[in-house]
Amino acid sequence: MSKTLRYAIGSLVGVVAAAIAVHAQRPADAPPATPFDVVEKTIFDLKNAMDARQATSRQIVEQYLERIKAYDQAGPRINAFILVNPRALEAADALDAERRAGKVRGPLHGIPIVLKDNYATADMPTTAGSLALEGFQTGRDAFMVKKLRDAGAVFIGKTNLHELAYGITSISSMGGQTRNPYDPTRNPGGSSGGTGAAVAANFAAAGMGTDTCGSIRNPSADNNLFGLRGTLGLSSREGIVPLSHTQDIGGPLARTVTDLMLMLDATVGFDPADPLTKASNGRIPRTFLSSVGDSSLGDVHIGVLTTLFGSAPEDTEVADIVRRAVAMLGRMGARVSDVTIPDFDELIQGTSVLSAEFKFDLLDFLVKYPKAPVRSLDEILNRGLYSTAIDGVLRRSNAVESRETEAYRAALTKRDVARERIVAAMVSQGITALAYPTLRRKPALIGEPQAGSNCQLSATTGLPAMSIPAGFTSDGLPIGMDLLGGEFGEQALLKIAYAYERETQPRRPPSSTP
């Protein structure tokens, strides 16, 4: 256990003890002592309970903290957290005081959420899962963190991730291995696996992750959640420890589509510090929640991207589950047809630039923080401050000698061609969204590699993709389906997901964290 985590848990014990003492002295008009049950409650459920004085933010936070104590560091030991916020109850108290004074900031006022630990936070360390950044105090919030704080969210803790967001099984030198609450012998997806596991296990109402190539969608698929990678430019990356500046984006993971939309409303929009967000001006609805309309899918055309369903025997189980989910959309009124994009594999191959960009993007990030404990990827490698699980990818990135190489420029050019052809294919056939498995294989056993990722299509094109729950395997493991839409087509994806959720009620909580 890291020093940071020991400190957080020790502080938390003292805070909870104080909370118990204070509870007996609550005024007569305080909410009833009988705890409001937070399990599987939506953001609106929690908001309504606070509005009706059935619960306070403090009481809600206390319940989540008890669940973390019982199931994250004990019981199945999900190990979703790097840091449990020792000041979460203090934040809840301040927001409760605002509510009593008649000030409610919005639907997230007093709502506990989790943050992936590559989001800079002014009041907590930001480690990106690496011992190289242990104790790293940025002194300021990432853009989206500030927006959430201003909206009244309570940060209950910072979650584990695949170290430096460079992998999809969520193991790190700072946080260890996060486990899948649906089967603790398996990984939770990644790199935002701690967020996915925490939200699935009801350790918070919702959470924030980042997606460079599947890192929001993979853990959403593996944890029976909804997760959105938006159009590149939908939300600011300022203050997020980078992996690839041409592929990174942050976004929410949630148990319901409504919760996801509420988190989106609080976090998207223009940020002068991230020039890419200028593209979002005039293309974001007043609220996503008010833009989904009714549940009719008569104007929706789902293109089943057969190439990404796989052809190996090991792909069959997931492919069948996803095809059943697509068939359900057809029964709900959507037009469904198989789609083949000529030379698709060749179009996508060679368009990833993670190795080319990471070393230099990390360098640019660290130089903004003079007190950062390390200054470069080379220093991290030389000091051995990382998990051996990422040794290979770090060394490949560190071997890149120049920001601008012929191979890098060729990859970016190829990416542009791929985007043009895929967009043209969708437009010419009137396709609202392409559908395919988020991952072609179910969550791998811990210690084994995770095969079957379909992450690159959205990362290459910059188009939005949303993972929605497609069903479960015969042994009870969640499977996800990606829906990829047009540029700033998030509303269409959310409309499909919202209607699908209402019709199928796909949410099933994990039995390991009752």
Catalytic residues: 116, 191, 215
Q: Answer for the pair 377, 396: CB distance below 8 angstroms, yes or no.
A: no
Alpha helices in 429-489 (DSSP H): 456-461
Which string of b and e fits 328-359 if b means at least 16 CB within 10 Å?
Answer: bbeebebbbeebebeebeebbeebbbbbbbbb
* DSSP one-letter code for 290: G
Query: Rounded CA gap, 456 and 216, in Å?
Result: 13
Query: Rounded CA gap, 88 and 448, in Å?
Result: 35
Q: CB under 8 Å to 170, separation ≥6 — which residues?
A: 160, 161, 162, 177, 178, 187, 188, 189, 190, 191, 192, 193, 194, 197, 219
* DSSP one-letter code for 214: S
Query: Rounded CA gap, 313 and 249, in Å?
Result: 33
Residue 282 burial by CB count (10 A; 0-12/13-18/19+): exposed, middle or buried?
Answer: exposed
Q: Answer for the pair 321, 470: CB distance below 8 angstroms, yes or no.
A: yes
Q: What's the one-letter identity of residue 187? A: N
Q: How many residues does the chain have?
A: 514
Q: What's the one-letter identity of residue 453? A: S
Query: Rounded CA gap, 506 and 488, in Å?
Result: 26
Closest to 88 (Cα-Cα) out of 72, 55, 112, 116: 112
Closest to 251 (Cα-Cα) out of 271, 275, 227: 227
- Give CA separation, 352 vs 59, 216, 405, in Å: 46, 17, 14
**Strand, coil or helix: 179:** coil
Site of tokens 């019981």:
75
What beta strand segments (E) does 266-334 contain? Answer: 301-305
